[in-house]
Amino acid sequence: MKHEIAALKERSAAMTTCELRLENLCYTVFMPPVLRASDIGTYLYCRRAWWYRKEGVESENRAEMATGTELHRRHGRKVLAAGLLRALSLFLFLIALTLLVVYLALRFI
C-alpha cells in the first residue's frame, strides 16, 4: 500500500491539475449506474423483462434469442452491402458523366 501511495505521489507531481482530477475520478468508490438506450427500450417493451435483466436472471428462451441475434447480424450485413453498392453506383455514375463530358468536349472542339 505504501508503495502504491508513493507511486501515485510521484505520478501526480508530473501531472497538470486537469490530469490529476481525471486520475482521481478513476479511483472513486461509487460510480452511478449507467442508463443505456437498450435498458429504456427493454423497460418500455416489458417492465418485467427489464427487471429480470437488471437482477441478472437468465432468459429461458436462449435459442430464440440466438436466432434473433443471427437474424440481426445478417440484416446488418445486408444494410452495409447496400450502402457500399450505393456508394459504388454513385462513383460509377460520376465516372460515366465525366467520360460523357470529355467525349462531347472533344467531339465539338
Angle ∠(28,29,34) on CA atoms, nearest 5: 85
What integer is the mean pLDDT of 54-76? 88
pLDDT of residue 18: 60
Could you tell me if 70 and 106 lie in one domain?
yes
User: What does pTM read for this prediction?
Assistant: 0.47
DSSP label at residue 56: T
The count of C-alpha atoms lying within 13 angstroms of the C-alpha of 108, restricted to the half-sphere facing its C-beta, is 6
The closest of 63, 36, 69, 39 to 52, measured between CA atoms, is: 39
List the domain range (segments joined by +) for residue 54: 35-109
Q: Is the model more confident about 34 or about 28?
A: 34
Number of domains composing the chain: 2
Could you tell me if 23 and 39 lie in one domain?
no
Could you tell me if 106 and 87 lie in one domain?
yes
Average pLDDT of the residues of the chain: 81
Distance, in Å, from the CA atom of 63 to the CA atom of 95, rounded to the nearest integer, reads 48
Distance, in Å, from the CA atom of 49 to the CA atom of 65, rounded to the nearest integer, reads 13
